Amino acid sequence: METEAKKWNLRLYVAGQTPKSVMALANLKRICDEHMHGKYSVEVIDLMENPQLARRDQIVAIPTLVRELPSPLKRIIGDLSNTERVLVGLDVVSRG
Amino acid sequence: METVQSSSSSSAPVSGIEKAPTGILGFDEITGGGLPAGRPTLVCGGPGCGKTLFAMQFLVAGATRFGEPGVFMSFEEPSDDLAKNVASLGFDLDDLTARGLISMDTVVIERSEIEESGEYDLEGLFLRLDFAIQSVGAKRVVLDTIESLFSSFSNEAILRAELRRLFRFLKERGVAVVITGERGEGQLTRQGLEEYVSDCVILLDHRVNEQVSTRRLRIVKYRGSSHGTNEYPFIIDRRGLEVLPVTGLHLSHPASTERVSSGIPRLDAMLGGQGFYRGTSVLVSGTAGTGKSSIAAHFVDATCRRGERVLYFAMEESPGQILRNMKSIGLDLQQWVDRGLLQLHASRPTLYGLEMHLVTLFRRVQEFTPSVVIVDPLSNLATVGSTTEVMVTLLRLVDFLKSRGVTAMFNSLTASGDEENETHLGVSSLMDAWISLRNLESNGERNRGLYVLKSRGMSHSNQIREFLLTDQGVDLVDVYLGSEGILTGSARLSQEARERSAAAARQEELETLQRRLDRRKGAVEAQILALRAEIEAEEEEVGKRVRQALMQEQELLADRAAQAAARQADSGTLDAGPAERQQ
């Protein structure tokens, strides 16, 4: 693995405790623990509580996982049930 | 149709659903008050058809005029054009935003940034929208090309479900929504947005015909409301969008009995002695160079002289040219321009589409409130559009002017050789009076003739007048009517001269005859005298001879008596014998 020096700064946008949100959070936890153990930080933002952030951060789909670091910025939308695509999106494994 | 008619006078629709006025001139009239309040409306059309501007105007009008704040959510790259457009309408979006009347939100989705993994929905968008609506207390929402979402997300099934939910959500919020959509092949929008928006669909169209662009608006659907179904031309200019409804669905112009002078006394005389009716439309038709503009100039002069305002639309000449040319026939129109009574507006017909001309005219008339409008020449407009378009435009124009009680004079150029009955763009039926100018060609010269082809509601002359352009303006003279037909110009002059000389010749002949008679009479009398003298001479001769004969007889008798006495003869028998023998 070439991910030794990497650090992941992630934000997960959800809207209340919907099944999709719950699912996304669970999936994220699992993936992070498995692939980025100790090298990540996740902030969960509930847009139900802070709706103005949706505009600021250009959120349309829910759930959206925003990869702040490593740059460039990346958005992974969905309940993160497709682990392969999440890993690609987080740049944990390179494509192909 | 009731709603359409009645709403032009008041903003409240007669019946049906509640409406949100758009503030777009003309549009609220044809829809009977605007877009459906609290419901979504789809505005679709090709690129550059003005749908974003339509939406923006709806929003800005709500915020500034109708106390309905709004949310503008754009799904396209934020463009400076939009802000500029709105600024040119006299609204500062930043200011409106700062005052909490409008909330602007641009949804930017970078396809390259996005990775899809599993199920998602567009709750983020809903929350954004909801937050914006609540933050300004919006009654109006614009979603500018929500279809862009289809290129941002790959899961169309989710998108469609979410769109359906979005419109339900918006209806629950009770906001009037304008959704713009790009015109698609075979359907109104590319993504079939019309299937979600069932309340009101408006189609905007921008087409170019023979290098002249025209914009059209059509209300495809308006649930729960009557609406005009025609294609309405509209324009976009510095004041934004403006729709031109076909006015005068009902003919209810007030008819004035007041008369206005044409400025040419003889023409007034031909028109029942007093000129045109105020508020009517007059057509002046004729081939090139028959003096149409001169007639118009006289009308202008006469109107300004009464202190009334005139608006002159020149389609051929520049204002300076008109003023100069009219000076050459003794009309100083410059003085009326200087005194603010005359406005000249010159533009090439081909410069804009018909609608633009119409709107320009409408606006000028509204601003200047003239009592007379001149369009010179009307026929040039025909170069811009098809006959039907021109016809409809003119219909609007005539109706508009009539409804305002404006007397209008339209000059129409007819092609040489056309008969006077040529339809003149089919407008003659719209006109109340029609003055026809004709070239009367004969003997190698061309003269102008004028006659009144029709004039509704007054007795008018059926005579052709010869029309003279002099240094003192237009003059009408009687044409020569004689056995040789209508003669004008030098033919008329020479005919008159011929008549004069013929009269003189006749006089001379009479005198000759008289003299001859006198002579003959003298001769006869002389003859009579001679004859009488002859008779007298004869009488004298005869008398003389009678006397001689008598004398001889007496002498003979005397002789015979003497002889008888001498012979002592019996007087009874002898008396006759010698006398008989003698004779």
Q: Is the pLDDT of residue A3 over 60?
A: no
Inter-residue contact B58 to B142 (CB < 8 Å): yes
Q: Is the pLDDT of residue B95 over 90?
A: no
Q: Which of A20, A24, A74 sits opposite B115 (nearest CB)?
A: A74
Q: Is the pLDDT of residue B3 over 50?
A: no
Inter-residue contact A31 to A86 (CB < 8 Å): yes
Summary mean pLDDT of chain B: 81
CA distances from B77 to A14, A56, B126, B129, B148 (A): 26, 16, 20, 18, 10
Rounded Cα–Cα distance for residues B460 and B135 (Å) = 70
pLDDT of residue B536: 93
pLDDT, mean of residues B88-107: 85
Element (H, E) at B56: helix B51-64
Range scoring the smallest mean pLDDT among A38-42, B13-17, B306-310, B471-475:
B13-17
pLDDT, mean of residues B444-452: 80
- Chain B residue closest in CA terms to A49: B127
Q: Is the pLDDT of residue B338 over 70?
A: yes
Phi, psi of B124 (to 5 degrees): -60, -40
Contact A89 B117 (CB under 8 A): yes
pLDDT of residue B5: 41
Residue of B578 and B522 predicted with greater confidence:
B522
Q: Is the pLDDT of residue B253 over 70?
A: no
pLDDT, mean of residues A84-88: 89
User: Is B270 strand, coil or helix?
Assistant: helix
Residue B380 identity: N
Residue of B39 and B80 predicted with greater confidence:
B39
Phi, psi of B123 (to 5 degrees): -60, -30
Q: Is the pLDDT of residue B480 over 50?
A: yes
Q: Which of B73, B77, B106, B115 to mutate to test the interface with A (most CBs of A within 10 A)?
A: B115
pLDDT of residue B6: 38
Q: Is the pLDDT of residue B139 over 70?
A: yes
* Closest to B280 measured CA to CA, from B373, B359, B418: B373
Exposed, middle or buried: residue B573 (CB in 10 Å: 0-12, 13-18, 19+)?
exposed
- Chain A residue closest in CA terms to B109: A58
pLDDT in tens, B408-437: 998 888 765 555 445 555 667 778 888 888
Q: Which of A77, A81, A83 to mutate to test the interface with B (most CBs of B within 10 A)?
A: A77
Q: What does B423-439 look like in DSSP terms, one character per residue?
A: -TTTTGGG-SEEEEEEE
pLDDT of residue B428: 72
pLDDT in tens, B45-76: 888 888 888 998 899 999 989 999 999 998 88
pLDDT range class, residue B331, cuts 50, 70, 90: confident
pLDDT of residue B519: 93
Inter-residue contact B279 to B405 (CB < 8 Å): yes
| A72 and chain B in contact, CB less than 8 A | yes
pLDDT of residue B528: 93
* Per-residue tokens: B213: 């662009």
Which residues, 6+ apart, have CB-to-CB distance to B250 below 8 Å?
B5
pLDDT of residue B308: 92
User: Is B188 strand, coil or helix?
Assistant: coil
| A73 and chain B in contact, CB less than 8 A | yes
pLDDT range class, residue B304, cuts 50, 70, 90: very high
pLDDT, mean of residues B342-350: 82
Residue of B390 and B528 predicted with greater confidence:
B528
Quick one: three-class SS letters along A7-39? CEEEEEEECCCCHHHHHHHHHHHHHHHHHCCCC
pLDDT of residue A1: 47
pLDDT, mean of residues B275-295: 85
pLDDT of residue B211: 66
Rounded Cα–Cα distance for residues A90 and A85 (Å) = 8
Inter-residue contact B476 to B465 (CB < 8 Å): yes
pLDDT, mean of residues B74-99: 78
pLDDT range class, residue B396, cuts 50, 70, 90: confident
Cβ-based neighbour number of residue B299 at 10 Å: 26
Q: Is the pLDDT of residue B575 over 60?
A: no
pLDDT range class, residue B247, cuts 50, 70, 90: low
pLDDT, mean of residues B93-122: 88
Residue of B492 and B295 predicted with greater confidence:
B295
| A76 and chain B in contact, CB less than 8 A | yes
pLDDT of residue B1: 37
Letter string b/e over residues A55-71, b meaning 16 or more CB atoms within 10 A of that residue's CB: bebbbbbbbbbbbeeee
CA distance A56 to chain B (A): 10
Inter-residue contact B446 to B439 (CB < 8 Å): yes
Element (H, E) at B313: strand B310-314
pLDDT range class, residue A10, cuts 50, 70, 90: very high
pLDDT range class, residue B572, cuts 50, 70, 90: low
The count of residues in chain B is 583
Q: What does B198-233 look like in DSSP terms, one character per residue?
A: -SEEEEEEEEEETTEEEEEEEEEEETTS----SEEE
Going by their DSSP bridges, the two strands A64-69 and A8-14 should be labelled as antiparallel
pLDDT of residue B571: 55
| pLDDT > 70: percent of chain A | 91
Q: Which of A18, A54, A83 sits opposite B128 (nearest CB)?
A: A54
CA distance B125 to chain A (A): 4
Element (H, E) at B375: strand B372-376
pLDDT, mean of residues A31-35: 89
pLDDT of residue B195: 80
pLDDT, mean of residues B370-392: 76
pLDDT, mean of residues B534-543: 92
Helices marked H in B71-226 — which ranges? 80-88, 93-98, 123-136, 149-152, 156-173
pLDDT of residue B540: 92
pLDDT in tens, B550-570: 999 899 888 888 888 888 766
CA distance B124 to chain A (A): 4
pLDDT of residue B111: 83
